[in-house]
Amino acid sequence: MTPAPHGQTPDPGAAAIPEPIEGLTLETTSIPGLLVLRVPVHRDNRGWFKENWQRAKMTALGMPDFGPLQNNVSFNAHRGATRGIHTEPWDKLVSVLTGRVFAAWVDMRAGETFGATFHVEIDPSVTVFVPRGVGNSYQALEDGTAYSYLVNDHWRPGISYPALNLADPTAAIPWPIPLAEAEISEKDQHNPLLAEVAPVPPRKTLIIGNRGQLGRALSTLYPDAEGVDLDELDVTDAAQVGAWPWSDYQLILNAAAFTAVDAAETPEGRRTAWAANATAPATLARIATEHHLTLVHYSSDYVFDGTAQLHTEDEPLSPLGVYGQSKAAGDLAVANAPRHYLLRTSWVVGDGKNFVRTMRQLALDGVSPSVVDDQIGRLTFTADLAAATRHLVDSAAPFGTYNVTGSGEPASWADLARRVFELCGRSPDDVSTTTTDAWAEGKLVSPRPRHSTLDLSKIEATGFKSEDHWSGLETYVASLESWSL
Active site residues: 86, 149
| Whole-Å CA distances, 228 to 231, 232, 253 | 8, 6, 11
Alpha-carbon span 207 to 387, nearest angstrom = 14
CB-based contact 110:134 (threshold 8 Å): no
On the CB side of 85, CA atoms within 13 Å amount to: 28
Neighbours of 151 (CB within 10 A): 22
Neighbours of 437 (CB within 10 A): 9
Sign of the torsion formed by the C-alpha atoms of 442, 445, 446 and 450 = negative
Q: Under 8 Å CB-to-CB from 114, ≥6 apart: which residues? A: 107, 108, 199
Pairing of strands 348-349, 380-381: parallel
Spatial CA neighbour of 407 closest among 350, 472, 353, 363: 472
Alpha-carbon span 4 to 72, nearest angstrom = 24
Phi, psi (rounded to 5 degrees) for 231? -75, -15
What per-residue string of b and e applies to 351-380 under the rule 16 or more CB within 10 Å gives b?
beebbbbebbebbeeeeeeebbbbbbbbbb
Residues linked to residue 121 through DSSP beta bridges, in sequence order: 102
Residues linked to residue 376 through DSSP beta bridges, in sequence order: 412, 451
Secondary structure E strands in 373-458: 376-377, 380-381, 400-403, 411-412, 432-434
Residue 65 amino acid letter: D
